[in-house]
Structure 1
Amino acid sequence: MTSRCKQLLLILCSLLVTITATKWESKPSNLTKYFVESEFCKMPYVDPFSQDIMSRFRSRKLKVCHHDRELITPEFDPETKLYRLHIHKELVKGKQKNITLTCYYQKITRNSKEMRPDDSYSLSDHRLLTHHLTLPKDVEFLTTSCSIQNKSEKSKTFQRDGFAFVQDHFTAKQLRKNLEIMNQKDEPKPSVIIMGLDSTSRMNFRRAMPKVSKYVDQEGWFEMQGYNKVGDNTLPNMLAVLAGTSKEQVRKHCGLSYRGCLDEVNFIWKRYKKEGYTTAFAEDCEYMSTFNYGAAGFVNKPVDYYLRPFLYAAEATLKLTSYLSAAYCVGRHLSFKYVWDFGHQFIKRFLNEAPMFGLLWSNSFTHNSMTGATALDSTFKEYLDNFQQLGLFNRSVVIFMSDHGDRFNSLRRKVSGFLEERLPMIFIYVPPWFREKYPQYVKSLKNNRNRLSSNYDLHMTLHHLLQLNTASMADFDPNFQAVKCKTCQSLFFDLPVNRACSEAGIDEKWCTCHPPEKVNDPTLIKEIGQAIVDGLNKHFLEKKISDICHTFKLGHVRHAYRKLILATAFKPTDPDEHIYTLEFWAIPRGLFEATVGWNIRTKVLTMNVNELSRLNSYEKDSRCVVEAQMKKYCVCH
Structure 2
Amino acid sequence: CVIPNYAKKLKLTETKDRKQSCGQRAIFVGYNTFPNLMSVLTGMNMSSIYSACHPNMYSCNELMIWSKFRKAGYTTAYGEDYLRLPDTFFRHNGFKYTPTHHYMRPFFITGEQQNGNVICTGHRSSGKQILNYAYDFADTYKSQSFFGMFWINSYSHNLDNLPSLFENDLLNFFEKARESDILNNTFIVFFSDHGIRYGPMRLLEESYYEERLPMFFVWVPNEFRTLHKQEYYNLQLNQNRLVTPYDLYATLAKISNMSANSADITSEACPSCKNLFEEITTHRTCAEAGVISKWCSCHDMKSVDRTIDRDATNSLQLAVSYVQGMANEIQTIDGMKCHSLQLEAVLRTHAFKGVNKTYYVVAFQMKPGQVVYETTVLKENNEYSILDSVDTLTAYNVRGNCVKNENDRKYCVCKKLNIVRT
TM > 0.5:
yes
Post-superposition CA distance 1:533-571 (Å, at most 9, x none): 322344456664597433432231111111123xxxxx2
Equivalent in the alignment of 2:379: 598
For the pair 1:217 / 2:18, whether they are aligned, the reply is yes
Q: After TM superposition, list the pairs within 5 Å mapping 1:138-177 onto structure 2.
A: none
For the pair 1:235 / 2:34, whether they are aligned, the reply is yes
Question: For residues 235 and 348 of structure 2, what CA distance do their matches in structure 1 show?
Answer: 37
For the pair 1:281 / 2:78, whether they are aligned, the reply is yes
Question: For residues 159 and 298 of structure 2, what CA distance do their matches in structure 1 show?
Answer: 27
Question: For residues 340 and 384 of structure 2, what CA distance do their matches in structure 1 show?
Answer: 19
How far is 1:413 from its partner? 2.1
The one of 505, 508, 511 equivalent to 2:296 is 511
Question: For residues 173 and 275 of structure 2, what CA distance do their matches in structure 1 show?
Answer: 28
The one of 107, 130, 134 equivalent to 1:339 is 130
Question: For residues 351 and 485 of structure 1, what CA distance do their matches in structure 2 show?
Answer: 33
Q: After TM superposition, list the pairs within 5 Å mapping 1:17-28 onto structure 2.
A: none
Letter in 2 for 1:514: H
| Contact 1:294 1:628 (8 Å CA) reproduced | no
Question: For residues 92 and 404 of structure 2, what CA distance do their matches in structure 1 show?
Answer: 10
The one of 286, 291, 295 equivalent to 1:501 is 286
Equivalent in the alignment of 1:244: 43
Letter in 1 for 2:287: S
| Contact 2:52 2:60 (8 Å CA) reproduced | no
The SS at the match of 2:256 is: coil
Equivalent in the alignment of 1:309: 106
Question: For residues 66 and 348 of structure 2, what CA distance do their matches in structure 1 show?
Answer: 42
Equivalent in the alignment of 2:390: 612
Structure (1 or 2) with the greater helix fraction: 2
CA shift in 2, pair 1:371/1:207, >3 Å: farther
Equivalent in the alignment of 1:437: 227
The one of 336, 343, 348 equivalent to 2:139 is 348
How far is 1:328 from its partner? 1.9
Q: After TM superposition, list the pairs within 5 Å mapping 1:363-442 onto structure 2.
A: 363-369=153-159, 372-442=162-232
Larger radius of gyration: 1
How far is 1:262 from its partner? 5.2
Question: For residues 210 and 193 of structure 2, what CA distance do their matches in structure 1 show?
Answer: 12
Letter in 2 for 1:534: S
| Contact 1:206 1:213 (8 Å CA) reproduced | no
How far is 1:418 from its partner? 1.1
How far is 1:241 from its partner? 0.6
CA shift in 2, pair 1:265/1:534, >3 Å: farther
The one of 302, 323, 336 equivalent to 1:536 is 323
The one of 321, 344, 350 equivalent to 1:561 is 350
The SS at the match of 2:111 is: helix
| Contact 1:284 1:361 (8 Å CA) reproduced | yes
Q: State how many pairs are aligned.
A: 410
Q: Percent identity?
A: 27
Which stretch of structure 1 is more off in the superposition, 624-633 or 431-440? 624-633
The SS at the match of 2:41 is: helix
| Contact 1:262 1:297 (8 Å CA) reproduced | no
The one of 254, 265, 277 equivalent to 1:492 is 277
How far is 1:372 from its partner? 1.0
The one of 577, 586, 602 equivalent to 2:366 is 586
CA shift in 2, pair 1:218/1:369, >3 Å: same
Q: Structure 1 regions of 5+ residues with no counterpart? A: 1-34, 36-44, 46-201, 566-570
How far is 1:337 from its partner? 1.6
How far is 1:239 from its partner? 0.7
Letter in 1 for 2:268: V
| Contact 1:228 1:454 (8 Å CA) reproduced | yes
Q: After TM superposition, list the pairs within 5 Å mapping 1:321-336 onto structure 2.
A: 321-324=114-117, 328-336=119-127
The one of 513, 524, 527 equivalent to 2:314 is 527
CA shift in 2, pair 1:460/1:509, >3 Å: same
| Contact 1:212 1:381 (8 Å CA) reproduced | no
Question: For residues 481 and 374 of structure 1, what CA distance do their matches in structure 2 show?
Answer: 36
Post-superposition CA distance 1:281-315 (Å, at most 9, x none): 11111111653343211112111111112212212
Letter in 2 for 1:503: E
The SS at the match of 1:407 is: coil
The one of 403, 409, 417 equivalent to 1:631 is 409
Equivalent in the alignment of 2:66: 269
Letter in 2 for 1:636: C
How far is 1:371 from its partner? 7.4
Post-superposition CA distance 1:108-138 (Å, at most 9, x none): xxxxxxxxxxxxxxxxxxxxxxxxxxxxxxx
The SS at the match of 1:340 is: helix
The one of 93, 100, 103 equivalent to 1:296 is 93
TM-score (norm 1): 0.60
The SS at the match of 2:365 is: strand
Question: For residues 470 and 626 of structure 1, what CA distance do their matches in structure 2 show?
Answer: 51
For the pair 1:549 / 2:342, whether they are aligned, the reply is no
Question: For residues 387 and 289 of structure 1, what CA distance do their matches in structure 2 show?
Answer: 32
TM-score (norm 2): 0.89
RMSD after superposition: 2.6
The SS at the match of 2:295 is: coil
Question: For residues 177 and 83 of structure 2, what CA distance do their matches in structure 1 show?
Answer: 25
| Contact 1:263 1:298 (8 Å CA) reproduced | no
Question: For residues 340 and 419 of structure 1, what CA distance do their matches in structure 2 show?
Answer: 29
Letter in 1 for 2:36: N
Letter in 1 for 2:271: K
| Contact 1:593 1:614 (8 Å CA) reproduced | yes
CA shift in 2, pair 1:229/1:276, >3 Å: same
Letter in 2 for 1:305: H
Q: Structure 2 regions of 5+ residues with no counterpart? A: 416-422
Post-superposition CA distance 1:157-205 (Å, at most 9, x none): xxxxxxxxxxxxxxxxxxxxxxxxxxxxxxxxxxxxxxxxxxxxx2325
Equivalent in the alignment of 1:456: 246
